């Protein structure tokens, strides 16, 4: 991915821009108070705070989207060993990951095949027949 593609803004709707700006203002108040940064604040300090917020947002988006993705695996899945259809476990599997923006714990759907005595996690790609 080119540097330009990595720094391109998302195209938001007017309503999304309003909500985005509200979140930005709320986080800025959290970091620097209602009046904003004091006079002695350097741009480096502002930039560091922006990076911290960006990393927090990136981790939250990662978790949100992978949770949505995991919900798509609520149906039975074939055991990769015996091919028998199995229902997902009631509790997802926690998968700790180190991302570019810090640690996240993803909750991926887990399945158990009692016949094969194994756990498995569904693939996003169907098996070739």
3 pLDDT exceeds 70? no
40 token code pair: 């002695």
50 token code pair: 């922006």
- Alpha helical stretches, state H, 72-129: none
- Alpha helical stretches, state H, the chain: 3-6, 14-32, 43-71
- Residue 127: pLDDT band with limits 50, 70, 90: very low
pLDDT of residue 44: 98
- Predicted TM-score (pTM) of the model is 0.74
Beta bridge partners of 102: 99
pLDDT of residue 71: 83
59 token code pair: 């981790």
45-100 residue pLDDT tens: 999 999 999 999 999 999 999 888 888 888 889 999 999 999 998 888 888 999 99
């Amino acid at each position: 991915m080119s540097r330009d593609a990595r720094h391109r803004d998302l195209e938001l709707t007017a309503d999304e821009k309003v909500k985005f700006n509200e979140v930005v203002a709320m986080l800025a108040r959290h970091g620097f108070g209602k009046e904003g940064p004091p006079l002695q604040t350097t741009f480096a300090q502002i930039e560091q705070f922006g990076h911290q917020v960006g990393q927090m947002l990136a981790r939250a988006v990662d978790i949100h989207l992978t949770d949505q993705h995991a919900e798509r695996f609520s149906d039975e899945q074939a055991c990769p060993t015996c091919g028998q259809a199995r229902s997902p476990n009631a509790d997802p599997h926690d998968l700790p990951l180190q991302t570019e923006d810090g640690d996240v714990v993803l909750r991926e759907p887990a399945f158990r095949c009692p016949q094969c005595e194994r756990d498995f996690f569904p693939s996003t790609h169907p098996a070739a027949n």
